[in-house]
Amino acid sequence: MRIGIVTMWNATDNYGGILQTYALQRYLRNLGHDAYDIRFIKTNSRFYKVKLFLKKLMILLHLPLRNVEFAEKMAKRRNFDGFRKENIALSKSVYYSLRKIRQNPPVADMYITGSDQVWARSLNNSPNERVWYLDFGPVQVKRIAYAVSFGHDYFPAENELLFEQLLKRFDKISAREINGVQFCIERGFKAQRCVDSTLLLNPDVYLSLLADRKYKERYAYSYFVNVVDSHEVYWEAVLLEIRNKELIPICTTASGYQPAGEIFVSAVYDYATVNEWLSNIFYAEIIFSSSFHGIIFSILFKKNFVYLPLTTNGSGNDRIDDLLQILNLQNRKVTVREDVKRLMNEVINYEEIDTAKLYSLIESSKCFLRESLKA
């Protein structure tokens, strides 16, 4: 079966984004299907062209481009394009709008949207948001929502009518968080909970992607996404505990709805490739993270970790809380500054963790996909 996937395929610095893209496609291909990701760029074509024009204009006028140049330099160093080229099949066409993808829809027997926060945006923002709801292509093509996330525990009331109309076209629906499942069910749609696509693959798959160990010294690895102020993740306390353990403070930042920046004092910044990022987690003494996928890969590699929830905009915290609750690891969450020292000294005994509930959810997620793929 030929399967076209709509997801956050074009990340430049968000490691979870690119790895969930890789994982779903890899899992489907392992089942024998011809899966590929549809190159939909969420920026509409007009805005994209204006952005390119302004950049060229700034260059012509010799205006400072420090922020743009820095971001591009870091993106080049991370080399996500290289990872995609080696590991992810993409559509030949690039689509910048709903109109364009409707004019020339990708050829497939099935479309899948997900996983990740593909339903986290307001449908009123732009008609292009409807691409995430697979509002294109022939009627006979099956449409599946896999582990979609709303990114928050509410949905704008003004969007509900359109939302319900769009969901009527789906053959099967699953959501990543329980509140997403409940939201769909309350509106008359059958839905089930499925895990993030990164959990569909055996950890050995990710171990095969590891780069060589980068740091000979013992180190703590921090991975922060969407952090606008280092104080909101108690960085001073984190840095103090890292130094008390005589570890090197390696840090990687990434953007989501906030740009990445070097805001963590005394950190050794590492703009890692995807393979290096996985390796950095695997070889670290401990991981500090605000990121859902930072926590997922810490668990997959059975590492000590400390979860530092966002306080400025905690819209993504629910999904991490859900995961920790399934594994009874809620105590790894920092709620007050003093928790940092406590968690630095409490070692996770993975032999004692009851993984039955998580494995059951992973198996039911695989079953959901297998059933969806039946002709």
pLDDT, position 68: 55
Q: What is the pLDDT of residues 117-133, one digit of tens each?
A: 888 776 777 899 999 99
pLDDT, position 75: 80
* CATH 3.40.50.2000 residue spans of the chain: 210-352
Give the pLDDT band of residue 329 (cuts 50, 70, 90). Answer: very high
Q: How far is CA 172 from the centre of its chain?
A: 22
Architecture in CATH of 2-201: 3-Layer(aba) Sandwich (3.40)
State how far the alpha carbon of 118 is from the alpha carbons of 7, 16, 147, 272, 329, in Å. Answer: 7, 14, 9, 25, 27
SS3 assignment for the chain: CEEEEECCCCCCCCHHHHHHHHHHHHHHHHCCCEEEEEEECCCCHHHHHHHHHHHHHHHHCCCCCHHHHHHHHHHHHHCHHHHHHHHCCEEEEEECCHHHHHHCCCCCCEEEECCECCCCCCCCCCHHHHHHHCCCCCCCCEEEEEEECCCCCCCCHHHHHHHHHHHCCCCEEEECCHHHHHHHHHCCCCCEECCCHHHHCCHHHHHCCCCCCCCCCCEEEEEEECCCCHHHHCHHHHHHHHHHCCCEEEEEEECCCCCCCCCCCCCEECCCCHHHHHHHHHHCCEEEECCHHHHHHHHHCCCCEEECCCCCCCCCHHHHHHHHHHCCCHHHECCCCHHHHHHHHCCCCHHHCCCHHHHHHHHHHHHHHHHHCCC
Q: What is the pLDDT of residues 236-259, one digit of tens each?
A: 999 999 999 999 999 999 887 676
Residue 66 has pLDDT above 50, yes or no: no
Structure-block tokens of residue 229: 């102020």
Encoded amino acid at 151, one letter: G
CATH number of 210-352: 3.40.50.10470, 3.30.465.10, 3.40.50.2000, 3.30.70.3040? 3.40.50.2000
pLDDT, position 49: 52
8 A C-beta contact, residue 228 and residue 294 = no
Mean pLDDT of 318-331: 92
Q: What is the mean pLDDT of the chain?
A: 89
Residue 179 has pLDDT above 50, yes or no: yes
Residue 303 has pLDDT above 80, yes or no: yes
pLDDT, position 120: 79
Q: What is the pLDDT of residues 137-161, one digit of tens each?
A: 999 999 999 999 887 666 666 678 8
